[in-house]
Structure 1
Amino acid sequence: MTLALKSFGGQGIVSGFRDAVALSWRLAILCRTPSLNPEQILAGWYRERKQQLEASLASTVKNGSMVNTKNPITILISDWSLWFLQMIPPVRRWIESGPRANGRTRYTYPAGLPFLPERGGGVLFSQTFCLPLVTDDSNCMAFTDDVIFTGKKQRLFQLVVLTSGDLNELRRLKAELGSLRTVCARLDTDEATFFIQRRFVPAHRTADDARISNTYRTATADEFERSPLCIGRPKVRDYKENDMWEGVKHKAVVILRPDRFVFAAVDTSEELEAALAFLSWKN
């Protein structure tokens, strides 16, 4: 359905991928939990995707009208306007940013959607570049999404811990999360991924630091461009190294859905336990 409706700017295939990803994890939950109401779960998928589909269709219709117009005056005005505007650097950057100029993708909450709006849920989690804490070797460069949802993990939902301090703060958060020991059908605290901002990582790490597992630091655009991961990719532009923190308003712990949307973002163990209680979806 989506692919048939949209044909400009690659939005058809993008929407198709979004539909598939958003639907697949819901189907996985239904298969693993037969007691759930399929209509309720799938209605949530429809209501979420409808929000983004309407926005994408509006953009597609607007682009199509501009591209397919046969009025020579309209064509002349459009071409010369775009040519003139791109001569202004800030405007050109805004045009090139495309949908990013509107900010992060965010769902508006109606009842029944699987995220907690009061805990910052419903926003698309940022993806940046990262390196394992134990090395500065650019050959180990990775996308944050890939280390959060590595194939070795078993649970659908994942925990991301964002350290806003030094390594001592990181150790404290690890210990606090370890004491929680929360294991459920959809999330396991043992699979949590920890990130620390590069500026808080000492240049010379000790043996104790090397034993901090499943932990990564942010990487710069220059580091990424020197890595094998950048081969065949365009030059990095408008990169925000600490965008993960900014996207969730510097909350310490983020529960991520399999489609990379935030289920909830919290600061304390009590808030985390309360958010995890909603993952049962028994109502």
Structure 2
Amino acid sequence: MTTATMNLPVLSGGDSLDRYVQQVHAIPMLSQEEELSLANRFHTENDLDAAGKLVLSHLRVVVSIARGYAGYGLPQADLIQEGNIGLMKAVKRFEPSRGVRLFSFAVHWIRAEIHEYILRNWRLVRVATTKAQRKLFFNLRSMKKGMAALTHKEAAQIAADLGVKPEEVLEMETRMRGQDVALMADDGDEDGYAPIDWLADEDNEPTAVLQRRATDRLQGAGLEDALATLDDRSRRIVEARWLADDSGATLHELADEFGVSAERIRQIEVKALQKMKVALACAEC
């Protein structure tokens, strides 16, 4: 399935980005019954028109997720384009018989494509040539406590954990700082939108959807099987960091829980995610 099989809104940056956002938010979300019907048509009849409707109705999800990566300094249009590729991959692999909504399943694929794009293109990855600097690049955000800028004491602690200088931590934070996407849009922003806008559908109240999010993610095609390949400690770390309803546990919080260093938690996390990636890849074969 490619963009040639459907009429996607045009996205090329600049003023057209605003028009694109308006276009994708004008596309109505599907009810659960409509989504199920389209997914079955695609998988049983290879109906590309049905696949296209599934993609179009979830383009707004990609926009919201891409906004969360504004701090990396890459063009928002490019992030959205990469996320759209992830969305199309998700639609191709989506199995409606599992009883999971496409939104929950697609989030993983959208983020994965955006992450790969950042790794290939972000300027700081090229600048950060040493192992310690790369470790700082990938872990700084998760090690920060709260939204406020780091204090010198906090920077010194992170520097000690990652084996870099406090000055490097503060410099990296300054260069990475960007806006985070709130769950709720500002009350005064008539054109504002946020994830809460599409977490609900006609058949579910927002609170019920939020309560099921963690369960939905664990039931997503192959994800439960991938988690089952991990030992108890690795699974706990992955679920706490990536599958929690809130913002997820920090490395330091998990380090306190298991009585090890934050760096050790990071190593376990990386190894666990690599193992899950292999398991997911095998499931697709």
TM-score (structure 2 length as normaliser): 0.28
Q: Which has the larger helix fraction?
A: 2
TM-score (structure 1 length as normaliser): 0.28
> Rg: which structure is higher?
1
Q: Which has the larger strand fraction?
A: 1
